[in-house]
Chains A and B, each alone.
Chain A
Amino acid sequence: MLKVLKYSFYDLSRSRWTYAYLLFFLLLTFGLLNFSHDLSKTIISLMNVVLILTPLIGTLFGALYYYNSKEFIDLLLALPLPRRSIFLGKYLGLSLSLSASFVIGILAPMLLFGILSTGLVLNLVILMSTGVLLTFIFTAIAFLVSIRFEHPIRGFGAAIFIWLFLAVIYDGILLLILIWFEHYPLDHFALLMTLFNPVDLSRVLIMLQLDISALMGYTGAVFRKFLGTSLGMSIAYATLLTWIIVPVFAFLWLARRKDF
């Protein structure tokens, strides 16, 4: 597995997409820092970008990379390697490479502007950890979809739909349900729905940093317990990890049974 990971990472480290992604975050972070001269503001802006972009890029690159490396995968399949190693290696190679671009792209300018000497280190850690988790989650989902659909167009379509659904549509549905049933106690429901969407969950983590004043205004005891304590943060991180593990196991399961 480690060898497959090594070669995938090596392969990706020579892809210009990797550098485009790195460059994007470098420019964005530098741009925001130069524009506002305010680390805190920059982190806030980046949080909003990260919630949309890392899932999208994870989805697109995941599908693109899978379909593009079919040759490589075919080659590997004929070698004395278990399928688990091949797909896990490829998956980790891509996730790590994307995460590296993301982390370096944000961290380097931040360090240059002296983030360490401010009280914002925790915010930055939350920002980067959610970004990395989302990258791993959506790359796994993209792999799952790509392994499921032989045809790239279908695979891309399905992957993008899942992204769109989780990033935007899901919240719309949730909001409609909340409004329709506003007279019912919906605290548990709302929190549960959040757990079922990794984007929402990441957003909650970020909100706990940015909007705690507003969140504290909510009366529901469950909400207060969830949002007002470290319990919420632990649950959120644990669920995000589950969101990586489940799709990974699912695509490994599919890959084990698939004909190539």
Chain B
Amino acid sequence: MITSAWLFLFAIVSEQLQASDTLNVGKAERFTRIGDAVKAAFPGAVIRVLPGFYQESNIIIDKKLHLLGVGFPVIDGNQKDEIFTVVADSVRISGFHLQNCGISFVKDLAGIRVDQGAHCVIENNRLFNTFFGIYLKNARDCVIRDNYVEGLAKDEFSSGNAIHIWYSKNITVEGNTCLQHRDGIYLEFVEFSTIRNNTSEKNLRYGLHFMFSNNDDYRWNVFRNNGAGVAVMFSKNIIMEDNLFEKNWGSNSYGLLLKDITDGEIVRNRFHRNTIGIYGDGANRLRMAHNEFMQNGWALKILGSCYDNQVTANNFLDNTFDVITNATVNNNHYHGNFWSDYTGYDLDRDGVGDVPYKPVKLFSYVTSRVPQAIIILRSPFVDLVNFAEKVMPSLTPQTLEDAAPLMKIIALP
């Protein structure tokens, strides 16, 4: 009773505040164009855009404003320029349907651009065919939440990223859906930021892409059917937890691509049916634990440039190949994983196989040299080749083995 009374009171107060400082935009309102309302508004005002079709672009927001779309008003950029450009702090943009920005090869045109802003919130918008979707540059403490960004990317050269963040700090990207762009979410020189609960699908290049970005984390995201699920390049201290990497298929496709990165955590992720689950090139001091690798072409492709990675307590289930490497010496640590291809025994019944498991098969070498050979993959002749290699190793690194392979699948949360 008391609560509802309070709520009622609060509603009245906020209504009055709005009334005092709210500008309506609509066909029958004082403003028929959003740009005019933005120019006329005082800092701190709310601009309510009523349902309708607005053909506007290059709306520059240079003061603290709350742009609120009511019933998803459509703003059409008419294939030229960008729609919202934010050059102030504490701007909030929500509830809009933005479409058709221009495509430029010299300027990264975007549906919503934040340039030098702080404490901005971009929330609950729908963007279609906006070249770049949401673009942050030199921003900090911003939130990009619950947006739906869909593009029409056909090739990498003439397409932009759904969410693009450059030189920014403390950004939260959550609950967004990014489809059919070059990259779903792109981060370059971005620090202390969090990417979570997003879905990134059907992007030409990467679902999520880190470049020169340190101390970030991404959790509970889904990366499906992208060129590669996630690429982490030239970055440090990235935490990667509880994500799903699925069906990232193709000749250069990976669930997770690691290129020159150090000190990260890859924990409790699921890699399902990717051409390569994790591809590591120059990846060092990473911990990979409690992940599930299921039905990937190659669960792990770890090149010789990778050092001191810990691969422990993961489930490797029905992958065509578990591990492949071009190294002749093993510099990483594989221990206590479950491998569904393991055929050893456990005489002392301690749950750990008595013979080590060698996850690198000779035939996977053969296919990396002669890719066509994949056609005889399940031939008994291939078993023969693999068996011979097991008995007398010549090409595979002898020390690359799991000395404590588990007999039972690990129950993952």
Asked if the two chains touch in their complex, CB atoms less than 8 Å apart, one says: yes
A contacts, CB < 8 Å to B: 40-41, 44, 47-48, 51-52, 167-169, 171-172, 174-175, 178-179, 182, 186-187, 189-191, 193-194, 199-200, 203-204, 206-207, 210-220, 223-224
> How many angstroms between the C-alpha atoms of A218 and B380 in the bound complex?
22
> How many angstroms between the C-alpha atoms of A180 and B273 in the bound complex?
32
Q: How far is the CB of A36 from chain B (nearest CB, A)?
A: 10
In the assembled complex, B14 has its CB within 8 A of some CB on chain A: no
Q: How far is the CB of A116 from chain B (nearest CB, A)?
A: 22
In the assembled complex, B107 has its CB within 8 A of some CB on chain A: no
With A191-B375, A213-B295 in contact, do A52 and B370 touch (Cβ < 8 Å)? no
Query: B373 contacts which chain A residues (CB < 8 A)?
Result: 175, 178-179, 190
Chain B residue at minimal CB-CB distance from A188: B372
Query: B381 contacts which chain A residues (CB < 8 A)?
Result: 168-169, 171-172, 175
With A168-B384, A194-B375 in contact, do A213 and B297 touch (Cβ < 8 Å)? yes
Residue among B296, B298, B366, B374 with the highest chain A CB neighbour number at 10 A: B374
In the assembled complex, B250 has its CB within 8 A of some CB on chain A: yes
Assess whether B320 is in contact with A211, with CB atoms less than 8 Å apart: yes
B contacts, CB < 8 Å to A: 247, 249-251, 253, 273-276, 295-298, 318-321, 340, 366, 369-382, 384-385
Chain B residue at minimal CB-CB distance from A36: B340
> How many angstroms between the C-alpha atoms of A207 and B250 in the bound complex?
16
With A190-B372, A214-B321, A217-B253 in contact, do A48 and B378 touch (Cβ < 8 Å)? yes
Q: How far is the CB of A187 from chain B (nearest CB, A)?
A: 6
Assess whether B249 is in contact with A213, with CB atoms less than 8 Å apart: yes
Q: How far is the CB of B247 from chain A (nearest CB, A)?
A: 8
| A–B complex contacts, Cβ < 8 Å, 8 sampled | A41-B318, A175-B376, A199-B379, A207-B378, A210-B318, A211-B320, A213-B275, A217-B298
> How many angstroms between the C-alpha atoms of A23 and B46 in the bound complex?
78
> How many angstroms between the C-alpha atoms of A203 and B373 in the bound complex?
13
Query: A206 contacts which chain B residues (CB < 8 A)?
Result: 378
Assess whether B253 is in contact with A216, with CB atoms less than 8 Å apart: yes
> How many angstroms between the C-alpha atoms of A169 and B371 in the bound complex?
20
Q: How far is the CB of B273 from chain A (nearest CB, A)?
A: 5
Query: B320 contacts which chain A residues (CB < 8 A)?
Result: 210-211, 213-214
Query: A214 contacts which chain B residues (CB < 8 A)?
Result: 275, 296-298, 320-321, 374, 377
Assess whether A219 is in contact with B371, with CB atoms less than 8 Å apart: yes
Interchain CB contact (< 8 A) of A171 among B318, B319, B379: B379
> How many angstroms between the C-alpha atoms of A215 and B319 in the bound complex?
12
Assess whether A218 is in contact with B374, with CB atoms less than 8 Å apart: yes
> How many angstroms between the C-alpha atoms of A181 and B201 in the bound complex?
39
Query: B296 contacts which chain A residues (CB < 8 A)?
Result: 213-214
Assess whether A203 is in contact with B378, with CB atoms less than 8 Å apart: yes
Q: How far is the CB of A134 from chain B (nearest CB, A)?
A: 14
Query: B253 contacts which chain A residues (CB < 8 A)?
Result: 216-217
> How many angstroms between the C-alpha atoms of A47 and B378 in the bound complex?
10
> How many angstroms between the C-alpha atoms of A194 and B379 in the bound complex?
12
Assess whether B380 is in contact with A219, with CB atoms less than 8 Å apart: no
Assess whether A215 is in contact with B297, with CB atoms less than 8 Å apart: yes
Query: A211 contacts which chain B residues (CB < 8 A)?
Result: 297, 320, 374, 377-378
Interchain CB contact (< 8 A) of B370 among A40, A172, A178, A207: A178
With A168-B384, A213-B273 in contact, do A186 and B378 touch (Cβ < 8 Å)? no
> How many angstroms between the C-alpha atoms of A171 and B369 in the bound complex?
17
Query: B382 contacts which chain A residues (CB < 8 A)?
Result: 171
> How many angstroms between the C-alpha atoms of A224 and B371 in the bound complex?
12
Q: How far is the CB of B398 from chain A (nearest CB, A)?
A: 23
Q: How far is the CB of A103 from chain B (nearest CB, A)?
A: 22
Q: How far is the CB of B406 from chain A (nearest CB, A)?
A: 16
Apart from A167-B379, A186-B372, A217-B250: 4 A-B pairs, beta carbons within 8 A:
A174-B375, A194-B375, A214-B297, A218-B371
With A41-B318, A178-B372, A215-B297 in contact, do A168 and B275 touch (Cβ < 8 Å)? no
Q: How far is the CB of B286 from chain A (nearest CB, A)?
A: 23
Query: A182 contacts which chain B residues (CB < 8 A)?
Result: 369-370
With A168-B384, A179-B366 in contact, do A220 and B371 touch (Cβ < 8 Å)? yes
Query: B297 contacts which chain A residues (CB < 8 A)?
Result: 211, 213-217
Query: B275 contacts which chain A residues (CB < 8 A)?
Result: 213-214, 216-217
Query: B379 contacts which chain A residues (CB < 8 A)?
Result: 167-168, 171, 199-200, 203
Query: B377 contacts which chain A residues (CB < 8 A)?
Result: 203, 207, 211, 214
Chain B residue at minimal CB-CB distance from A191: B375
Residue among A52, A191, A216 with the highest chain B CB neighbour number at 10 A: A216
> How many angstroms between the C-alpha atoms of A172 and B385 in the bound complex?
9
> How many angstroms between the C-alpha atoms of A109 and B250 in the bound complex?
37
> How many angstroms between the C-alpha atoms of A206 and B372 in the bound complex?
17
Interchain CB contact (< 8 A) of A216 among B250, B369, B370, B384: B250
Query: A174 contacts which chain B residues (CB < 8 A)?
Result: 375-376
Chain A residue at minimal CB-CB distance from B298: A214
Query: B380 contacts which chain A residues (CB < 8 A)?
Result: 52, 167-168, 171
> How many angstroms between the C-alpha atoms of A178 and B385 in the bound complex?
15
Chain A residue at minimal CB-CB distance from B364: A214
> How many angstroms between the C-alpha atoms of A119 and B214 in the bound complex?
42
Q: How far is the CB of B47 from chain A (nearest CB, A)?
A: 48
> How many angstroms between the C-alpha atoms of A186 and B319 in the bound complex?
26
Chain A residue at minimal CB-CB distance from B271: A213
Query: A213 contacts which chain B residues (CB < 8 A)?
Result: 247, 249, 273-275, 295-297, 319-320
Query: A210 contacts which chain B residues (CB < 8 A)?
Result: 295, 318, 320, 378
Q: How far is the CB of B230 from chain A (nearest CB, A)?
A: 17
Query: A48 contacts which chain B residues (CB < 8 A)?
Result: 378
- Nearest first, the 3 closest Cβ-Cβ pairs linking A and B are A214-B297, A214-B320, A217-B275
